[in-house]
Amino acid sequence: MKYSIEGVEGLPEVTPGDDLAALIEAAAELGDGDILVVTSKIVSKAEGRIVEASDREAAISAETVRIVATRQYEGGVTRIVENRQGIIGAAAGVDASNAPDGTVLLLPVDPDASARALATGIRALTGASVGVIVSDTIGRPWREGQTDIAIGAAGVHVFDDLRGSTDASGKPLAVTMPCVADEIAGAAELVKGKSAGVPVAVVRGLGHYVGDLDLPGARSIQRPADRDLFRIGADEAYNEGYRDGFEEAQAEGPASAAP
């Protein structure tokens, strides 16, 4: 199997209200089975998800659903949180990189809906069956550095579900389900980069992952809370256990003195 990834160059600076589908269609030659990987930053700009940099901390709080972990550092506090999109990461995805001076960008309110609107528009303009992945950069537990993941998807199978099949040796696969949307997003970042001014990439040769627009989106990648073994940070888990133990001891009262 072969596939290729090409950055889409020549896109103008995106501003609120811009028609992203039309801008991308004008800059890229697209065909059936192509997958567009679109950096969330330009989706946020087109949707007007821009706030003043002075309001950054308030914006993080507003976008936060649940605090996972916090760490003090010399310049302030790092907050790892679950945001309204269900993504767990630093600062709820509020980011100043590639934002207009004096501002920060929030993630799209509903990245799957954004991807679906973009895919619908591009399919209408080109007549081609094209998939769309909206990507964003995130850190990972236990690993240094960052990578891009899919935070929105439309017209793309986000998983390659191999459960029930066998490996090359004929052994049954019970849990194997590669998250191809994340793999594609990470690979596409290699040609987009953070400073090259190339916010969109076209992936060709993976048309077998392209499908109907009603396929489950990237939100389906988020692990349900009842299966999340690491819902809070290590220090938070220790403090929670200590507090619960202390409160239980207080409720039981002082131990009876030995006779």
Residue 24 to residue 12: CA distance in whole angstroms: 10
Q: Is the distance from CB of 5 to CB of 36 less than 8 angstroms? A: no
Determine the length of the chain: 259
Domains of the chain by start residue, with CATH: 13-47+107-250 (3.30.1330.100)
Q: Report the distance separating Cα 161 and Cα 165, nearest Å.
A: 9
CB 80 within 8 A of CB 93: no
Report the distance separating Cα 133 and Cα 115, nearest Å. 6
> What's the pLDDT tens digit per position in 50-76?
999 998 889 999 999 999 998 888 878
List 172's β-bridge partners, or say none.
166
The span from the CA of 245 to the CA of 189, in Å, is 46
Tokens 């891009």 found at:
148
145 has a pLDDT exceeding 90: yes
* pLDDT bucket at 257, cuts 50 / 70 / 90: very low
Claim: this prediction has a pTM higher than 0.85 = yes
Backbone CA torsion sign across 64, 44, 158, 90: negative
At 161-204, the pLDDT tens digits run 788 888 888 888 888 889 999 999 999 999 997 767 899 999 99
Task: Tell me the residue type at 89.
Answer: G
Average pLDDT, the chain: 91
Angle of the 111-126 helix axis to the 20-27 helix axis, nearest 10:
50
Looking at beta carbons, which pairs linking 189-196 to residues 24 or more positions away fall under 8 Å? Answer: 189/37, 189/135, 189/137, 189/147, 189/148, 190/5, 191/5, 191/6, 191/7, 192/7, 192/37, 192/39, 194/97, 194/98, 194/137, 196/7
HEC assignment per residue over 90-150: EHHHCECCCCCCCEEECCCCCHHHHHHHHHHHHHHHHCCCCEEEEEEEEEECCEEEEEEEE
